[in-house]
Structure 1
Amino acid sequence: MSFLRAGGRAGSTDPQIAGFQIADLQTTKVPRVRRPRAGRRVNGLVCMLVCLLIAAGSAVPATAQQNRGKGKPAAKKPAPPKIRLPESVRRAPKSTMKVTGVGRSSRSEAQLMAAEIDRLIERALVQGGQLPNDMTDDSTFVRRVYLDVAGRIPTLQETQAFLDSDDPMKREDLIDQLLGSPDSVSHFYNVWADTLRIVDRPQPNIIGNPFSHYVKEAIRTNKPYDDWVYEMLTADGKSWTNPAVGYQLRDDGMALPYIDNTVRVFLGTQIGCAQCHDHPFADWTQYQFYELAAFTAGVRTRIQRGDPGFEKQNPAQKLINQAKNDFDKGRVPGYFQRLARANTYVVSEKPRKLRLPKDYAYTDAKPGEVVEPAVPWGEVPDSNQFKTPRQKFAAWLTSPENPQFSKMIANRLWRQFTGVGLVEPVDDFNDDNPPSNEALMEYLATAMVDTGFDMKQWMRGVLYSKTYQRESAVYDPTSDEPFLYAGPAIRRMSAEQVWDSMLTLAVVNPMPFQRPSAKDYAEVVDIDFSKITYQQLKQQSETFRDTYFAAGYNRSLNQHAYKGNVLCRASELPSPAPSQHFLRQFGQGDRETINGAELSATVPQILAMFNGPITHVMLEAGSSIVDNVSSERTVRDRIDAVFLSVLSRRPSSIDRGVASSELKREQTRPHVAFGNIIWALLNTREFMFIH
């Protein structure tokens, strides 16, 4: 695809950007748009960018306007560019993360799964009068699989190694490699963070960070999905001693929304409106909703009278009252209060009956009547009949005999790799919204159970398939026609994929730090109220202030920052990111709703790509792409390096011609020309979308 030949970076306020030194440009030039080849459209985002560049033409400095066409004074030899990137992101990464991947011995099972997927897809295509798309070329495949599994574009070296290989099994080898990589842990954490609504502070005094670490650990160790979900639904304790409780603390104080969210996330059924009345479009009744909610009615999230340290008064409040005498005007610091109160959140289960609301209006029961726990379909497994109600609920929900549990995770992951779920919306299974390919839905759910809920082995089968590796197809979500998967749907990168891909271009080490573990938090924040004294708590709170309380924690992050942006993968940054952060501008949700991320283009995104810090950082001296391009000896090789770095492909003859023209136009300043080419490629549809 041809690209915009941008003559310069309009709107830059930085007097000197090192490396390619784009800010050496003294005029603002309007880019020309090459007419796209037949069948290709210019990205709407780029079109809006062109408009902004045109509008910016009036802002050309007067001195520059006056000097146009005149001779320029002899330029002094420029000083060596100053390295302004943090040293931590310029060092080669030393990952110590051991990731459970996929075994060579089970490859044949994945190949058989892939073949059956292709058979079922191709049968549906024939019945629909369609043909499958051609297989992708290696350039398209390597970029797609890195984005889908590693959450980022490949590096220049990774792309070159794959394209230069003539190994007939190189695609399957790469899939296996990526499924066992730290990159995959980072990427799938982002996916689950959006689904589970992971936030660092679910409520002001809840420390949610250990739950983030727990989710990453479940992905890293490839914990069987049914075991993972069962743990989250039944965990007891504090968030740093048993971080799986973070799932229940996310909806602390909201017992009924907790059931609604749980059924929607893990069973793909939207029952929320049945909290207040019978579901108007499904078979769910309000009474059934309360029967299901009765399983978790006994969950407690606070320490209670009689617990260690809790006598006549809440021990946290007792210590806070004591602290008032030790601080000016009784203003107890926030770090002291938060540490004390966070230790009062302890998840446990005690017998408790659930009653219908006082305004219950149906004839099958009376208002205020006790509701006995019951499941809406199937049965609680026999092995759990004598366990607690919450354990019975978790056992029923995660049972291999519960078809909706396996269908939901299969549909969610299928959508992750193909862009369109067999059921859309992905969490709205109902009789009026059947799968677009019923046979494939049944097969994928059965395959999930057959693997023992091994998500990586299941994903391996999908990624091996021809269906996944075919050329992409256009999907119109407003169409009445079902999407038959002639190839994966073209889709826009998520906010996290854009951010992590930018870092891939900009820095050598995109993971200069990782989130603290649950153990790290426990060593700093855990309190035994039955033993701790006020002076001990005061000293411990100061350690908390300097490590994991907001100000101290942010100071530690900022040593890896460039212009206020911490250069680390999205999975390690605060969750969610601040409202003005690049991630939020590109659609990262506020984590208040399930899968709340947005993928539509907005004006703030244009401005961020137009002149944001993250686009500046990759043109700094010492950035990864600057070093890669500068290390090439010939102009042809440098052009190749730019295209392979940004788009994972070599330039076409048209691309090479335009790039060469730009270099000739700026022959006295090749660094400016290469910067223009890189910047233009970043603002193409080809970069922003997964093809």
Structure 2
Amino acid sequence: MARDWAANKLTPNAPADDSVFVRRIYLDVVGRIPTTREAEEFLASKEDGKRAALIDKLLDSEGYVQNYFHYWADVLRVQSKGQRAGPAYVHFIKDALRSNKPYDMFVREMVAGDGKAWSDGAIGYYTRDRGMPLDNMASTLRIFLGTRIECAQCHNHPFDKWTQMQFYEMAAFTFGVEIRDSGGSFTGGISDLLRDQGMAIRTTFKQPEWPKNSTTEADRLAFWAELEKVGRARRAAEDYLLKAERLYNQAMSGPRGIGRYPKVTFDEKRKVTLPPDYQYDDAKPKSVVKPAAIMGHACTPLPGETRVQAYARWLANPDNDRFNKVVVNRLWKKVFGLALIEPLDDLTDTTVAVNPELLSHLEKLMVSLNYDMKAYLRILFNTSTYQRQASHEEVALGTASHFTGPLLRRMTAEQLWDSFVTLINPNPDMLNMASHEFFEQRRLAVEKVADPAETLKSIQMAAKKFQEQPEGVEALQKRLVEAREEAKKYQSIAATATGPEKQAAAAHAAECHVKIKTISREITALYTNARRTVMTEVIIPGQKKLFEKVTGKPFEIIAYEPNQEVPIQAAPSADMQATGAANGGLKMAPEDGKIKTTKPTKAEVAEAEIRAWSEEAMYYAIPRKHWRDYFRSRAQQSRQWLRAAEIESPAPRGHYLREFGQSDREIIENSNNEASVPQALALMNGELLPQIVHRYSQLMLSVGKARSADERIDAAYMAVLSRKPTAREKGLCLQAQEKGLSTVEDLIYALINTQQFIFNQ
């Protein structure tokens, strides 16, 4: 960088002070401004190397996962709603970031992904473009190789060297990818079993035939009596069947959802052909096209590899020059605001970086780090260039930027929303049980272990047991009717009897009521046993078999009640174990190393929240008599003000995120951060400001700790801008107070509408 500055006669920007750095690093790594507490702790620290320590801490936090998920979701056009594999795809991306999966592996798993969505969320990369294999291939080259080849789908590229034949040669690698809905036999199996039970009932309880050659009253009465008996038994059996079906629907609510999930496979026999209107001399229309790489080294499948696996290996390869260029440029732009090559997804043979020496160094660095994105980002964040003051000059299209410091940037929609949430929530990164992500992970865990292929046999066995029970239910129902008739008879006698006879009749009637209650309990117990049968012979065996097959570890259940949700088996993260609310509701056995499953109770979840909220209440000096109100307010905040990554992706239309420019995820990198009138109206008239100035918001709690008017002004600036006001700003505040803007709420409203808040400096 220094040589480039000298060559262009530029002076680097002055170093940024700690207040600028702490706000910038929180926005760039975890996607939100720091809380007052976080900013004050950093600014008060006198330790050497505190900036590097904070960078490490933030890169290892869940906030990093949430922030960078937004970036990749925009690039990959991820939609968790409206896409059948969407939730699993979201989980795959977040888990890759959480585990710091190498970038090349991350890409290969998506491009070569196969299987079912609940077992391999990476297939969402293909299901996102279901029915559009050619468009998917064009997007792949643009996203990962910075090459726009889509124009060559219809004709030779008018602005680059790519031909239409080369487009189809590349498409031949992935054209064999097929997307089908899985689990049909599973849901169909349930329907078939229930239908068979219905047929069995109709066969068992056949309607009697009218007696032939018999006209006596006794024959007619006998026929009607038999018809009533069979009808009553049949109705009881059908009623039980209906209840059994409801039990299935309830108990299998997670696994039945598998039928809606797609499966990706690869058919080697499926070939791509040229379009009917192909007009070039190198081939005839509708000709079969063989796969061939259009750049770099050859792409030849190894023994046992499919074409798409070879394609993924060729694509995400250290020898693929464009693959390396694009990833280092993407992450550089995320950190500094502009890439070394702009646009970074339209590279040609003549493209030259603004600093070729730096770009070459970064490519080698990324390869040497084995595509460790966190390690690469850590280096960039620790550079003196990043830690300089921001450059405020706008870089015009086609103009080179020599990065004398990071560029001044307007917050993204997600950063702005998460910063508002930070002003409201004293602990914005706390695990949120109400989040869309948490719900989807639990749902995914259920579907992952309840493999229909593993459990269909168990379902058939359970259905056979169900089929054996209608007669038992019918007998109980008959006893119940008889008991009620007997009770009516005794009640009739009691109405006419007097003295001891009346008391005796009442006693007999009471006995019948006891009998009615006893029989009713027997019927309830029978249905409860059916529910238990579904759980013990359908759900749990499938979980046990799959878990032990995958992990090689024993599956042990330490708690189960028939009405509980299905126990889930998975490995919880350390912070989730600490709160007793691991994904899927799991706890790790402390000594023997075995994973034991149990659903966390509401009391356990509440205990973790109360612990955190109690610590907050003590920190903010809330009187103990007000703790109950504070806890109630915090519970409401947790439900209503979620981080952007915890909301469905993209957010619903009309949400603040969409108003502030969140991508609709229809095309690559479709977000915008331009100001608009709807944004101003949303801030003026929406629900944000009342929540930000609520007595128990993070901002107002911080202001509430101040002892004087000056300290309250300082606290407001620290919460919103992560710094104290300058002497000039404090003077302006005093002038505003003299003109009637005397409340701290007036100051807060002014601050959140300033460019200093909306921009990342």
Please indicate the TM-score interval, normalised by the length of the shorter structure: 0.7 to 0.9
Shift of 1:564: 12
- Note if 1:680 corresponds to 2:755: no
Match of 2:262 in 1: 345
Match of 1:130 in 2: 10
Q: Secondary structure at the match of 1:288?
A: helix
Shift of 1:237: 1.5
Q: Distance in 1 between matches of 2:103 and 2:196?
A: 46
Q: How does 1:185-334 map to 2 (within 5 A)?
A: 185-203=65-83, 206-302=84-180, 309=185
Q: Distance in 1 between matches of 2:312 and 2:195?
A: 40
Q: Distance in 2 between matches of 1:322 and 1:646?
A: 66
Pair 1:618–1:303, CA change in 2 (3 A): closer
Q: Distance in 2 between matches of 1:232 and 1:150?
A: 25
Match of 1:429 in 2: 347
Q: Which is bigger in relative contact order (C-alpha 8 A, separation at least 6)? A: 1
Q: Distance in 2 between matches of 1:283 and 1:476?
A: 33
Pair 1:319–1:229, CA change in 2 (3 A): farther
- Are the equivalent residues in 2 in contact too, given 1:423–1:434 (CA < 8 A)? yes
Q: Secondary structure at the match of 2:452?
A: coil
- Note if 1:153 corresponds to 2:223: no
Shift of 1:458: 0.6
Shift of 1:246: 1.4
Which amino acid counterpart does residue 81 of structure 2 have in structure 1?
A: R
Shift of 1:434: 2.4
* CA RMSD, Structure 1 to Structure 2 (Å): 3.7
Q: Can you give the 5+ residue segments of structure 2 that lack an aligned partner in the other structure?
A: 198-237, 243-248, 467-530, 540-562, 566-632
Q: Distance in 2 between matches of 1:393 and 1:190?
A: 27
Choose 428-437 or 227-236, whichever is displaced more: 428-437
CA deviations 1:100-127 (Å, max 9, x no partner) are xxxxxxxxxxxxxxxxxxxxx2212222
Match of 2:324 in 1: 406
Q: Distance in 1 between matches of 2:649 and 2:190?
A: 27
CA deviations 1:603-622 (Å, max 9, x no partner) are 11101122221222111121
Shift of 1:663: 4.4
Which amino acid counterpart does residue 129 of structure 1 have in structure 2?
A: K
- Are the equivalent residues in 1 in contact too, given 2:118–2:447 (CA < 8 A)? no
- Are the equivalent residues in 1 in contact too, given 2:714–2:725 (CA < 8 A)? yes
Shift of 1:214: 1.2
Q: Secondary structure at the match of 1:302?
A: strand
Q: Secondary structure at the match of 1:596?
A: coil
Shift of 1:659: 2.1
- Note if 1:500 corresponds to 2:423: no
- Note if 1:375 corresponds to 2:293: yes
Q: Secondary structure at the match of 1:346?
A: strand
Shift of 1:519: 6.0
CA deviations 1:511-567 (Å, max 9, x no partner) are 42341365642415856265557999x9999999xxxxxxxxxxxxxx999699831
Shift of 1:638: 1.7
Which amino acid counterpart does residue 383 of structure 2 have in structure 1?
A: S
Pair 1:426–1:614, CA change in 2 (3 A): farther
Q: Distance in 2 between matches of 1:283 and 1:381?
A: 20
Q: Distance in 2 between matches of 1:464 and 1:316?
A: 58
Q: Distance in 1 between matches of 2:739 and 2:315?
A: 65
- Are the equivalent residues in 2 in contact too, given 1:563–1:613 (CA < 8 A)? no
Pair 1:129–1:543, CA change in 2 (3 A): farther
CA deviations 1:107-156 (Å, max 9, x no partner) are xxxxxxxxxxxxxx221222222111111111111111110011011111
CA deviations 1:545-595 (Å, max 9, x no partner) are xxxxxxxxxxxxxx9996998311100101110110000000001111111
Pair 1:453–1:563, CA change in 2 (3 A): closer
Which amino acid counterpart does residue 185 of structure 2 have in structure 1?
A: G
Which amino acid counterpart does residue 402 of structure 1 have in structure 2?
A: N
- Are the equivalent residues in 2 in contact too, given 1:381–1:399 (CA < 8 A)? no
- Are the equivalent residues in 2 in contact too, given 1:562–1:617 (CA < 8 A)? no
Which amino acid counterpart does residue 109 of structure 2 have in structure 1?
A: E
Which amino acid counterpart does residue 444 of structure 2 have in structure 1?
A: Y
Which one of the candidate residues 181, 185, 192 is aligned to 2:61?
Answer: 181
Which amino acid counterpart does residue 720 of structure 2 have in structure 1?
A: V
Shift of 1:207: 3.7
Q: Distance in 1 between matches of 2:307 and 2:118?
A: 24
Q: Secondary structure at the match of 1:579?
A: coil
Which amino acid counterpart does residue 165 of structure 1 have in structure 2?
A: S
CA deviations 1:429-472 (Å, max 9, x no partner) are 12354221111111111111010101111111111111111111
- Are the equivalent residues in 2 in contact too, given 1:151–1:187 (CA < 8 A)? yes
Which one of the candidate residues 470, 490, 506 is aligned to 2:388?
Answer: 470
Which amino acid counterpart does residue 616 of structure 1 have in structure 2?
A: P
Match of 1:659 in 2: 733
Match of 1:521 in 2: 444
Choose 379-388 or 410-419, whichever is displaced more: 379-388
Q: Distance in 1 between matches of 2:168 and 2:700?
A: 60
Which one of the candidate residues 643, 646, 666 is aligned to 1:569?
Answer: 643
Pair 1:407–1:380, CA change in 2 (3 A): same
Shift of 1:289: 1.1
Which amino acid counterpart does residue 104 of structure 2 have in structure 1?
A: D
CA deviations 1:417-437 (Å, max 9, x no partner) are 110111112211123542211
Match of 1:690 in 2: 760
Q: Distance in 1 between matches of 2:139 and 2:639?
A: 33
Which amino acid counterpart does residue 173 of structure 1 have in structure 2?
A: A
- Are the equivalent residues in 2 in contact too, given 1:198–1:212 (CA < 8 A)? yes
Q: Secondary structure at the match of 1:198?
A: coil
CA deviations 1:11-69 (Å, max 9, x no partner) are xxxxxxxxxxxxxxxxxxxxxxxxxxxxxxxxxxxxxxxxxxxxxxxxxxxxxxxxxxx
Q: Distance in 1 between matches of 2:285 and 2:191?
A: 37
- Are the equivalent residues in 1 in contact too, given 2:717–2:724 (CA < 8 A)? yes
More helix by share: 2
Match of 1:116 in 2: none
Q: Can you give the 5+ residue segments of structure 1 that lack an aligned partner in the other structure?
A: 1-120, 328-332, 545-558
Pair 1:339–1:212, CA change in 2 (3 A): same
Which amino acid counterpart does residue 193 of structure 1 have in structure 2?
A: A
Q: Could you tell me the percent identity over the aligned residues? A: 39
Q: Secondary structure at the match of 2:264?
A: strand
Pair 1:149–1:211, CA change in 2 (3 A): same
